[in-house]
Structure 1
Amino acid sequence: MTFLSILCALLIEQLKPLRADNPIYGTVKLLAARMELWFNAGDAHHGKLGWFLVMAALMGPTALIYWLALRLSPFAALAWNILIVYLTLGFRHYSHYYSSIQLALNSGDDVSARVLLAEWTKQDTSAMESGEIARIAVEKALVTTHRNVFGVFFWFLMPVGPACAIMYRVAEYLARAWNEPEHMKNEAFGKFAARAFYWIDWIPARLTAIAFAIVGNFEDAIYAWRNFASRWQEEAVGIILAAGGGALGVRLGTPLQGAANVMPADPTSLESTDLESDAVPGEEPTARALQSAVGLVWRALLLWMLLLLLLSVAVWLG
C-alpha cells in the first residue's frame, strides 16, 4: 500500500501540481501564526507547548481518519494515503522557477535569471554572475527536494504513515516560521521547533545524502560529505549540499549566505585554504549543472521507489 500510495501521488502531482499557495498550506500557516501570537511570551517552553499543540491539531485527525479508513476498507485507507502524500509532497511546487532559470541561463539571459532567482529565494541577486546564479539554484533545488520529497518518503514509511508525513512537513515549516523572520530571529520561542526538526530530519538527511552518492559520483560525494559538510551552520543542509555537490562534480557553498539561508559554521575561524575553491572537488557550477542536478534528483527518486517496491514485495511475501 505504501508504494502504491507514493506512486499514485507522484503521478497525480505530475498531472496536477499542487500550488505552494494552496488553501490547505494557508490554513497551516495561519494556525502557526496564531499559536505564535497566543503563546509567545518570551520563554522557550511556550514554544514547546505551541509546537505540540500544532502537531496534535494536525496529526490527531489525520491518524484518526486513517484508522477509520483501515477499518472501513483497504481501498479507503489507500485513498487517504494518496491524498496525504499528494498534500505533503512538493516535488513540483517550485519547479517552474528552476526550469525558467535554466532556460534563461542557457539562452544567456542573466537578467531574467536573476529576477526569477530573487523571487524564488527572496534574496538580493542584482550583482550575481551566471555561475553564482547556477550555484544557488542548484543548492536551493537539492535542499527543497530533500525537504519536500525524500524526507516525506522516510516518515511515510513509519507506523501511521500519513500522520508522520504531516509531522515532518509541519515541523520543517515551524522551524522556519518561528526562527527565520526578522522579528523572530532573537526569540526563544522558536528554539524548540528548530531543535525538534533537527532530530526529525537527522536520519532522512543522511539517507538523502547516501542516495545522491549512490546515483552520482560516490567517491567525491563521500569525500565532500566528510570534509566540507561542516562549512554550513545547519548540519543537515551541509550534509545534503556537500554530498550533492560531490555527486554532481560541482563546487557548492561559499563563505557568503547561500540559497538555503545558511552560513559557514564560523567564517572567522576557517583557514583561508579551507575556503579556496580548489580544496573542494569538482568544477565551478554553470548552466549545465542545473540539468545535471535534475538528473541526480530523478535518479535518487527512482532509487527510493525501487527500494520501496522491494520492501513492499518483501512485506507482502512475508
Structure 2
Amino acid sequence: SLRDHIAPIARALGARDLASARLLTARIVSRDTTQSDEAALSRAAVESALENGNDAIFGALFWFAIAGGPGALGFRLANTLDAMWGYRTPRYLRFGWAAARIDDVLNWIPARLTATSYALLGDTLSAWRCWREQAPRWDSPNAGPVMASGAGSLNVLIGGAAVYHGALEQRPTLGFGHPAEARHVSAALMLVERTIILWLAVLIVLALLSVPFHG
C-alpha cells in the first residue's frame, strides 16, 4: 500500500507532471500541496515514505512480534488516531493529546529500531550523524530519529517550509547532501523495502532459534 501510494508520485515528478504529483501527494500528507513545486513534493513524498515505513510497517511488525495480532492492531489504532487527531490546533489540541502521547510511547522502541535499520542499509556514518545532531530539533520524538536517519542514509535534504492548516511552518532541515527530487522518492521506497527484508530475516532467525531441537 505504501508503494502503491508513493511510487506514482515519483513517476509523476519524473514526467514533470506537477498537477498529478500535487494531487497524489495531497492524498498521503496533511500539508497543503496546491502550490508546491517539484522540490517540495519530493520532500513530502520522501518524508512520508520514511516515516510511514515505521508507522505502518515496522512498528506493526515489532508489536506483532511482542504481542501478536492484538499488539499490532493496538499499535495501528493508536497511530491512526494520532494521525487524525494529534494536531496542536484549537480544534484538536484538547481532544487528540491522549492519542498523540500513547502513540509516542508505543512508537519509542520501534522508531529507534527503524532508524538503526535505515542507517545500516545506506550511508551509515551520515545517518548516525544526522540522527544525533538533527533529530532532537524535530517536534516529534519518534519521527525525528526515523526521518533524520533515513535522510542521512539516502544523502538527501528534507524538512523545511510547509503549509499546514493554512499556516506556513518552518521546520528544521533533516538529512545531508542533495535537495530532494524524484529519484530520492524511489530511493526512499527502496530503503523501506530493504529494511522489510532485514526485519523479516531477523524475525525468521529468531523464530528458528526458539524452536526446540530434538536430536
Report whether the alignment pairs 1:285 with 2:180.
yes
Query: Post-superposition shift, 1:102?
Result: 1.1
Query: Post-superposition shift, 1:174?
Result: 2.4
Matches within 5 A, 1:119-198: 119-158=27-66, 160-180=67-87, 184-187=91-94, 189-198=95-104
Matches within 5 A, 1:38-187: 92=1, 94-158=2-66, 160-180=67-87, 184-187=91-94
Decide whether the 8 Å contact of 2:112 with 2:146 is kept in 1: yes
Per-residue deviation, residues 183-239 of structure 1 (Å, max 9, x unmatched): 64231x432322121111100000000010111111100000000112321111111
Give the Cα–Cα distance (whole angstroms) in 1 for the partners of residues 79 and 19 of structure 2.
Answer: 32
Give the Cα–Cα distance (whole angstroms) in 2 for the partners of residues 175 and 248 of structure 1.
Answer: 27
Query: Post-superposition shift, 1:257?
Result: 5.4
Per-residue deviation, residues 70-125 of structure 1 (Å, max 9, x unmatched): xxxxxxxxxxxxxxxxxxxxxx1x43331221111111112211122123324322
Per-residue deviation, residues 113-169 of structure 1 (Å, max 9, x unmatched): 1122123324322322211111111101111121111001101111x4111111101
Report whether the alignment pairs 1:236 with 2:131.
no
Query: Post-superposition shift, 1:170?
Result: 0.9
In structure 1, the residue matched to 2:105 is: 199
Q: Mark the runs of 5 or more structure 1 residues left unpaired by the alignment.
A: 1-91, 268-274
217 and 199 in structure 1: CA distance in 2 versus 1, 3 angstrom threshold: same
Tell me how large the CA RMSD over aligned residues is: 2.2
TM-score, length of structure 1 as denominator length: 0.61
Per-residue deviation, residues 242-270 of structure 1 (Å, max 9, x unmatched): 00000111012115458xxxx67xx7xxx
Give the Cα–Cα distance (whole angstroms) in 2 for the partners of residues 182 and 143 of structure 1.
Answer: 22
SS of 2:180's equivalent in the other structure is coil
**Structure with the bigger percentage of helix:** 1
Report whether the alignment pairs 1:211 with 2:117.
yes
196 and 256 in structure 1: CA distance in 2 versus 1, 3 angstrom threshold: same
Give the Cα–Cα distance (whole angstroms) in 2 for the partners of residues 235 and 139 of structure 1.
Answer: 15
Matches within 5 A, 1:14-53: none
Report whether the alignment pairs 1:222 with 2:128.
yes
Give the Cα–Cα distance (whole angstroms) in 1 for the partners of residues 133 and 30 of structure 2.
Answer: 29
**Structure with the bigger percentage of strand:** 2
Give percent identity, aligned residues only: 32
Between Structure 1 and Structure 2, whose CA radius of gyration is higher?
Answer: 1
TM-score, length of structure 2 as denominator length: 0.88
Give the Cα–Cα distance (whole angstroms) in 2 for the partners of residues 166 and 184 of structure 1.
Answer: 27
Decide whether the 8 Å contact of 2:148 with 2:175 is kept in 1: no
Give the Cα–Cα distance (whole angstroms) in 2 for the partners of residues 226 and 256 of structure 1.
Answer: 24
Q: Mark the runs of 5 or more structure 2 residues left unpaired by the alignment.
A: none
